[in-house]
């Protein structure tokens, strides 16, 4: 469960129905191959980041976004640990990141990073951080401690880096990754169908019974919300603005309406609480007002669009 939760934060990420050999799924196209060719079979959490698209957006090129991305990476311990261990510069070296995970008694996790790498530099960084180096023929497998988890890293070539929960998985992905689509469950296919394939970032998560048990002792409102959810998806599109969408699929229309009402109450209450407070930047209120919450059938949606001007205000406030 730790591996699933850690990948899922990442970056803040989870039963299974009938499975079949996957046709291409509408995830962001990455690394010259569809993202579904770099997934764990029957994944309960999938995260795809199209870093090349992000860094090429007007917002990044003209708005000084690269520096903000670096600051964000350094502020999130899990991401910082990975970049420190690999020596990667997310604003220059990485084209895409595909992460997938499962939970349960035998949790699995896999992260595949595609880009343009200085192989010797990355191997040097991995060796420095590794608790042990396993030599498998001509392949070096770096055993890494990432927070509470052990991950195994392999530099496949100058464009592919693999991090997995086990040495066997890492070696298998280096040998067979990118060749065929992963097996994807019926529920996950349904969640992925909400994407267009053009997103800068896309995340889909099955809310498994195991995850619901983890939240059973949480405050009642949160525990009940998690209990009613079946899947959760999030997407971000970056151009000269940022568009965010979060969609939760619940067990019934009644649950969706209640969840939307609770979220809207929380949004309105926060906006009212912060209104007029001199120590709170004005853009915070603007962002809260811009959040749109709705429900349709079993779906609950949260939408937010931040314009270039709003993002510039945030940047000035942070500087």
pLDDT score, position 314: 66
Are both 23 and 158 inside the same structural domain? yes
pLDDT score, position 28: 54
- For residue 66, tell me if it sits in a domain: yes
224 vs 24, higher pLDDT: 224
**Measured between alpha carbons, how far is 289 from 60 in angstroms, rounded to an integer?**
25
Q: What is the mean pLDDT of residues 91-96?
A: 82
Are both 174 and 55 inside the same structural domain? yes
- For residue 234, tell me if it sits in a domain: no
- For residue 216, tell me if it sits in a domain: no
**Measured between alpha carbons, how far is 225 from 239 in angstroms, rounded to an integer?**
32
Are both 177 and 109 inside the same structural domain? yes
Burial of 303 (0-12, 13-18, 19+ CB in 10 A): middle
Are both 136 and 248 inside the same structural domain? no
Are both 110 and 248 inside the same structural domain? no
Q: Which of 12-16, 46-50, 255-259 has the highest mean pLDDT?
A: 255-259
Average pLDDT, the chain: 80
The domain boundary, picked from 186, 201, 219, lies at 186
**CA–CA distances in Å: residue 4 to residues 105, 181, 216, 258, 319:** 12, 21, 18, 28, 34
DSSP assignment letter at 64: T
Q: Are 114 and 95 in contact (CB under 8 A)?
A: yes
Are both 299 and 178 inside the same structural domain? no
89 vs 74, higher pLDDT: 89
Overall domain count for the chain: 2
Are both 160 and 258 inside the same structural domain? no
- For residue 219, tell me if it sits in a domain: no
**Measured between alpha carbons, how far is 113 from 115 in angstroms, rounded to an integer?**
7
- For residue 222, tell me if it sits in a domain: no
pLDDT tens-place string over residues 186-245: 999 899 888 888 888 889 999 988 888 888 888 888 888 889 999 999 999 988 888 999
- For residue 221, tell me if it sits in a domain: no
Confidence of residue 250 (pLDDT cuts 50, 70, 90): very high
The token duo for 74 is: 């350094």
Q: Is the Cα torsion angle 83, 84, 89, 94 positive or negative in sign?
A: negative
């Amino acid at each position: 469960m730790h591996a699933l939760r850690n990948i899922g934060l990442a970056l803040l990420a989870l039963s299974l129905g009938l499975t079949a050999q996957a046709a291409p799924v509408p995830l962001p196209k990455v690394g010259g191959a569809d993202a579904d060719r770099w997934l764990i079979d029957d994944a309960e959490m999938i995260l795809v980041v199209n870093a090349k698209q992000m860094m090429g957006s007007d917002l990044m090129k003209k708005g000084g976004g690269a520096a903000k991305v670096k600051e964000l990476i350094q502020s999130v311990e899990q991401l910082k640990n990975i970049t420190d261990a690999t020596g990667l510069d997310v604003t220059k070296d990485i084209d895409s990141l595909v992460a997938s995970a499962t939970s349960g008694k035998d949790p699995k996790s896999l992260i595949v990073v595609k880009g343009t790498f200085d192989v010797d530099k990355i191997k040097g960084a991995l060796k420095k951080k590794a608790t042990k180096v396993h030599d498998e023929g001509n392949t070096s497998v770096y055993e890494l401690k990432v927070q509470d988890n052990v991950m195994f890293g392999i530099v496949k070539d100058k464009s592919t880096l693999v991090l997995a929960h086990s040495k066997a998985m890492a070696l298998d992905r280096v040998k067979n990754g990118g060749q065929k689509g992963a097996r994807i469950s019926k529920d996950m296919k349904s969640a992925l169908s909400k994407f267009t394939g053009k997103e800068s970032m896309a995340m889909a998560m099955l809310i498994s019974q195991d995850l619901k048990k983890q939240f059973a002792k949480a405050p009642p409102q949160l525990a009940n919300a998690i209990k009613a959810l079946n899947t959760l998806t999030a997407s971000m599109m970056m151009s000269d603005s940022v568009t965010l969408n979060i969609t939760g699929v619940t067990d019934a229309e009644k649950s969706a309406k209640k969840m939307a009402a609770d979220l809207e109450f929380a949004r309105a209450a926060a906006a009212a609480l912060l209104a007029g407070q001199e120590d709170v930047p004005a853009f915070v209120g603007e962002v809260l007002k811009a959040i749109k919450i709705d429900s349709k059938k079993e779906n609950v949606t949260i939408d937010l669009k931040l314009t270039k001007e709003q993002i510039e205000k945030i940047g000035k406030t942070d500087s």
